[in-house]
Structure 1
């Protein structure tokens, strides 16, 4: 039974041996396609945020918590704001960062290799002023001449933006006593009376803004000409701080305030992995998608309000929502399956030509087990032919006896050869040829023929 089992329809061992090199080549191409052509997203990313306790800082921590659920480590990188984040992006020190609209333009962004993931929220210009006894409230930016104003920290977007506001009002920065402290020390200077005002360009979530809106002796500048500012500076929008939004019970503020606002944008380097862009945009939808002081439900994030070209993955999300697979499975599994098309292309490029190589290789490997014995048979025949025909009979008999013993050994070893049933005719052909060579040996040595005759009992 064991011998019969050796004769099967095919030989798994030979099939594996024949297809092995092909499988290794395909596996190598698969691995190269998986790692090089479409590499897996990195598990770490650096996010440029802002000053301590600023809205950028707070949101940066929320993004880190959101992406941690998908196995991505987001490292917040503090900065003074938009201008510094732009520099960090260009220098490659951060992969993605918060940036205020108006910080750069489309041509410069394309030149620097930057893409937008969409606008996230409005960042109104908050100009807080200290009440001065006996002095009227400031209602025009031209009235700031001679006052000490903190226009924002160096590296933030506020100084550049506020200088643009002064410029359209015909006020030179030199006509003010300008300082550029960080937000917290600037707030302390204002509260202690050592400065007349300070400028923020931030979301209302900023803790310092929340505090100043409720601080006695400090009031918010009302941009009554907000619509005109948006015409002069197109990256700005006109927003309204509604009456009572801060505290309905105390009626804070006591009336509507008109404000002008750039938008906060999530900006990334163009070489950021597409899968990470998808993750950040999905996190943005969860973090910024609700209603706020200046936005309606679902207004943000958006592909609008940004002068930087929007990344293709982000634009697709705003149009169609999250990728289909990521709606029903984990990020890493969805990403793997999404990248499988690269492997399918690699497989299609290899499996068709290589499939034509494996069958002939398999046939050759099976038949080589049989055909190599024909070389041994030919050696036996050659030894018979080389024996001197006119020599002593005993010498010829010795040669025949030696070659017959050798032939018997060949036959024993051939009997141990197993091949698939489809190649059995080749094996039986070899056995018949062994018998043919044996008859030839015996015919040349009659005495040896008698020695090998089997006498029945």
Structure 2
């Protein structure tokens, strides 16, 4: 066991050079890897009583379970949300489809669509006395067309424009009012009809649907509208879908509506896309009164560019690691794996060279002693070895003692013992030369003539 530990120590000390090399490569990996995405974002939601805010609250709760903090920022509506995105005040916002078309192409390039969250039907509630067939029939009634710069007003203006009814032609009885103000005025008899945009579950829509003095009417000629306004979609509402006790609507109707689109700005970190979309999928997994389960989120409108991370999500779902690991861990692993591959490419030949280098360094401990033996052998061959062989023999014996303290792994012991034999052979050879020299010296002195 002691021998094994000694061999292991020798191997580690011999290959100690690889430690700074690997440390430098790993340091480069941590230096060049992209920082992890922030676990925080701000989202513009619209009015606190609106459908956008209600959805954003559920999304915030879902993201909180993943350790992600979503701050909700109230706004005046879709147009205000777009402004906040462009200014960088928020990273995410819900925007009514079609609103992005009011921006220039350069402004739209700073935005990216993450996905459609749900449909936002356009509801037209009227009092019982109103007879409605076409939009032009509303010219004689007191109508709420939506508050200024709101999504509701944008949709109604587009529908009236398709009927060649421009804002300049609006009757004085039409009011730029929407939301709860329009609902209150409608219930108080101050308006004869009003438009609203929002999901069927919205508290305001449910309040109006439950009112027996009001009627929900159907918009006709929807194919003609869709041909002119492609950012809208057809919504079919069955009898009694909104309120069964009041049977609202009284019969199957058809209406139009935009879709609520989740849009990101330039300050949004793209790596957060699968986390946000998966949270939205969990929020919407059960569907709604009008949207089937599992239908949303869906691909964003073509009028907005789509992040590649969103395209991947809609094509293949979550990235592989995020299917099994928490987002924070999976995100870090994704980044390190990308740079770890070239690191492994560099380390593979490096570790492959450990064996030959280790073998060379161990043998170098032994072979370096042969240099002195070779020099003595060359001097013997040339006949110019020093006459004082005792000093050379003493030097070799000292080397022999020093060699005894050299440690090599057990597998290289045979080469060490061969060096011992060669060293001993050279000592004995020099000793033989020394003896022959000593024997020749008296004979030479006897042959010389005696001094006179």
Interval containing the TM-score (normalised by the shorter chain): 0.7 to 0.9
The change in CA–CA distance for 1:423 and 1:113 in structure 2 (over 3 A counts) is farther
Tell me the SS of whatever aligns to 2:36.
coil
- Quote the residue 2:51 is aligned against: 55
Q: How does 1:424-439 map to 2 (within 5 A)?
A: 424=413, 427-428=416-417
Specify the alignment match of 2:441 in structure 1: none
Structure 1 residues 217 and 417: CA distance shift in structure 2, 3 A:
same
Per mean C-alpha deviation after superposition, the further-off stretch among 358-367 and 112-121 is 358-367
Q: Which residue of 2 aligns with 1:228?
A: 224
Matched, 1:163 2:157: yes
In the TM superposition, residue 50 of structure 1 has moved relative to its aligned partner by 1.9
1:362-401 CA-to-partner distances (Å, cap 9, x unmatched) read: 45654666678899999xxxxxxxxxx99xxxxx99x969
Secondary structure of the 1:8 match is helix
Aligned 1:119-158 pairs, distance under 5 A: 119-129=116-126, 136-145=130-139, 149-154=143-148, 156-158=150-152
Q: 1:284-303 residue pairs with structure 2 within 5 A? A: 284-303=280-299
- Does the 8 A contact of 1:101 with 1:307 survive in 2? no
Instruction: Map residues 305-344 of structure 1 onto 2, 5 A cutoff.
Output: 307-335=303-331, 338=334, 341-344=337-340
Q: Residues 400 and 423 of structure 2 are in contact (CA less than 8 Å); yes or no, is this contact kept in structure 1? A: yes
TM-score with structure 1 setting the length: 0.74
Contact preservation (8 Å) 1:9, 1:421: no
SS of the equivalent of 2:244 reads coil
Of 140-149 and 435-444, the range deviating more from structure 2: 435-444
Of 111, 116, 134, the match for 2:113: 116
Aligned-residue CA RMSD in angstroms? 4.4
Summarize deviations over 1:237-289 as a string: whole Å, max 9, x none: 22222221123233233223331111112223477555422222223333334
Q: What count of residue pairs does the alignment treat as equivalent?
A: 425
* Gap change, CA 1:237 and 1:216, over 3 Å in 2: same
Query: Aligned in 2, Cα 1:90/1:430: closer, same or farther, shift over 3 Å?
Result: farther
Give the 3-state SS of the residue equivalent to 2:17 in structure 1.
Answer: helix
1:208 matched residue in structure 2: 204
Q: Distance in 2 between matches of 1:377 and 1:192?
A: 117
Give the distance between the partners of 1:432 and 1:58, measured in 2 at CA.
91
Deviation at 1:6, TM superposition (A): 6.4
* Greater alpha carbon shift after TM alignment, 235-244 vs 352-361: 352-361
Preserved contact between residue 89 and residue 97 of structure 1 (Cα < 8 Å): yes
What do residues 160-186 of structure 1 show as CA deviations (whole Å, max 9, x unaligned)?
222212211222223245655673344
Classify the secondary structure of the residue corresponding to 1:11: helix
Relative to structure 1, the CA distance from residue 365 to residue 239 in structure 2 (aligned partners, 3 Å threshold; closer, same or farther) is same
Q: Return 5+ residue gaps in structure 2 as ranges.
A: 375-385, 436-452
Q: CA deviation at 1:440?
A: 11
User: Is 1:17 aligned to residue 16 of structure 2?
Assistant: yes
Say which SS state the counterpart of residue 61 (structure 1) adopts.
helix
Per-residue CA deviations over 1:265-318 (Å, capped at 9, x if unaligned) read 222347755542222222333333434333334333333765434444434444
Contact kept, 8 Å, 1:80 with 1:154, in 2: the verdict is: no
Determine the C-alpha separation between the residues in 1 that align with 2:237 and 2:299.
24
Does the 8 Å contact 1:126/1:199 carry over to 2?
Answer: yes
Alignment partners' CA distance in 1, 2:42 and 2:362 = 59
Structure-1 separation of matches of 2:344 and 2:156: 59
Is this contact kept in 2: 1:81–1:157, CA < 8 A? yes
- Structure 2 CA distance for aligned equivalents of residues 407 and 176 of structure 1: 120
SS in 2 for 1:265: strand
Corresponding position of 2:25: 26
Mapped to 2, the partners of 1:125 and 1:103 lie a distance apart of 15
2: CA distance, partners of 1:321 / 1:117 = 14
**Displacement of 1:18:** 2.5
Per the TM alignment, residue 56 of structure 1 is displaced from its structure 2 partner at its CA by 1.0
Counterpart of 1:75?
71
Q: Structure 2 vs 1, CA of residues 430 and 21 (structure 1 numbering), >3 Å: closer, same or farther?
A: farther
Match of 1:419 in 2: 408
8 Å CA contact 1:149, 1:176 repeated in 2: no
- SS of 2:243's equivalent? coil
User: Relative to 1, partners in 2 of residues 1:200 and 1:413: Cα closer, same or farther, differing over 3 Å?
Assistant: farther
Match of 2:46, SS state, is coil
**1:177-205 per-position Cα deviation (integer Å, ceiling 9, x unaligned):** 56556733444444445555543322122
Mark the CA change 1:148 to 1:300 in structure 2 (over 3 Å): closer, same or farther: same
Q: 1:5 to 1:119 in 2, by over 3 A?
A: closer
Secondary structure, aligned partner of 1:238: strand
